Amino acid sequence: MMRTQIQIPTLVRIKPGAVDRVGIYARRNEFDRVVVLHSAGLRPELLQRLYQGLTDEKVSILQNWPVQEASFEQARKLFPEIPAATEAIVGFGGGKALDVAKYIAFLTGLPYLSVPTSLSNDGICSPQSSLTIEGRRKSLPSSMPFGIVIDTEVCLAAPKELWLSGVGDLVAKLTAIADWKLAFHQSGTPIDDFAALLSDATVFQFIARPDHDLSGMKMLGTALMLNGVAMGVCGSSRPASGSEHLISHALDALGGPPRLHGLQVGVATYLVSLLQKQSSEAIATLFQSTGFWRTIESNRFRRADWMKALRRAPGIKENFYTVLSSRDCIPEAESHLRNDPFLRKCFTD
């Protein structure tokens, strides 16, 4: 039997001060000439720390580009400008810069170093890039990072809302795995037991200690990274994305006010857990202890938008069986949005 080679990160550093050591990690792996793509508006002192560390190790920065938007069009514009001598692509900052850098690394076939400054979703380490094409968001095949470097001090200093977004994207793995198992039993969708176990286990490890401190950052960063690895193991988004992501994609397609991906997905995850009749208590308790619910309540969603998204969600992906495919969930979902003690505070008419 032919088996495909699984790509996983070779370099993993998750610790305080890691940003200053990116140059050391690059030199050790013989990346002497790099291109850096960073978030537009990133704090100058963070950029200076990255550049100083690279310069100290005599790693040449051939190009240094700010990324304004996570779009296919921007990636296509920058791709031809990558110098032929480039030995690695470094993505530095938030999700937009990382997704564009990751996609360009995929197009060029170059090693990719992921250096996030916040932990807002699992895109820090995954084989996909979330980019817009003519304004419509798509998940495109991309490079699994050669290396992932998470500076826990830098991520802790980011706005707490970004950390909560990461928490929301992480717990989605509970409902995603449940949907995957349902799809296996109802429609014969192949399931990779190791990928499912890896993704599921990371959530419970974090739930055991969901603290907003350096140790909590390491735990969340590790969990999100391993979620990405789980997708790489099975060659599918199934370990990390189920009906909760379909709802989020449908909300995005409606074109309402933009929200952080993980905050939107987190609320959808809790709603889906009620439909699946499992994990709801654990999710609600986690959201209560971390302050997730309070953050959503301070900027509530429109219930009418979510009802539209729920009707559209099952058709977002072809041949993608979830709990939303198993029955008409609309009346039950609407009842939860109006009556659940947590959800009713998250929505406005």
At 343 the pLDDT is 98
Residue 5 in this model has a pLDDT that exceeds 70? no
Could you tell me the two tokens for 63?
Answer: 């190009």
Share of the chain above pLDDT 70, in %: 98
Q: What is the per-residue pLDDT across 263-297, written as a single tens digit (0 to 9) for each?
A: 999 999 999 999 999 999 999 999 999 999 999 99
Tokens 């037991």: give the residue. 193
Whole-number Cα distances in Å, 334 to 51, 77, 152, 297, 347 = 51, 44, 39, 18, 11
When pLDDT is averaged across residues 89-100 and rounded to a whole number, the result is 96
Contact between 49 and 22 (Cβ < 8 Å): no
348/59 Cα distance (integer angstroms): 52
In 10 A of CB 332, how many CB atoms? Answer: 13
In the chain, the domains with their CATH numbers are 11-157 (3.40.50.1970), 160-348 (1.20.1090.10)
Structural tokens at position 146: 């050669």
- What's the gap between Cα 135 and its chain centre? 19
List the one residue out of 180, 181, 225 whose CA is nearest residue 202.
225
Whether pLDDT at 217 is above 70? yes
**Predicted confidence (pLDDT) at residue 2 exceeds the cutoff of 60:** no
Is the pLDDT score of 7 beyond 70?
yes
Q: Does residue 306 register a pLDDT over 60?
A: yes
Q: Quote the DSSP letter at residue 21.
A: G
Mean pLDDT, all residues of the chain = 94
Per-residue pLDDT tens for 130-145?
A: 898 987 778 898 989 9
Give residue-wise pLDDT tens across range 10-49: 999 999 999 999 999 999 999 999 999 999 999 999 999 9
Tokens describing residue 229? 């690895």
pLDDT in tens, 222-239: 999 999 999 999 989 999
Q: Given this model, what pLDDT does residue 82 score?
A: 97
For the entire predicted model, the pTM comes to: 0.94
Residue 1 binned pLDDT confidence (cut-offs 50, 70, 90): very low
Query: Which tens digit of pLDDT belongs to each residue from 97-135?
Result: 999 999 999 999 999 999 999 999 998 998 889 898 987
Cα angle for residues 297, 219, 145 (degrees, 5° grid): 105
**What mean pLDDT is predicted for residues 336-340?**
98
- Whether the CA torsion 302, 304, 310, 316 is positive or negative: it is negative
**SS3 state at 18:** helix
Q: Give the C-alpha separation, 40 to 38, whole Å.
A: 6
Give alpha helix (H) positions in the chain: 22-28, 44-56, 72-78, 95-108, 152-157, 160-187, 193-207, 214-234, 243-254, 261-276, 280-290, 292-297, 303-312, 323-326, 330-339
Distances 320 to 5, 68, 184 between C-alpha atoms, Å: 25, 32, 11
Pick 215 or 200 by higher pLDDT. 215
Condensed to tens digits (0 to 9), the pLDDT of residues 135-184 reads 777 889 898 999 999 999 999 999 999 999 999 999 999 999 999 999 99
Give percent above pLDDT 90 in the chain: 87
Span between the terminal Cα atoms of the chain, in Å: 56
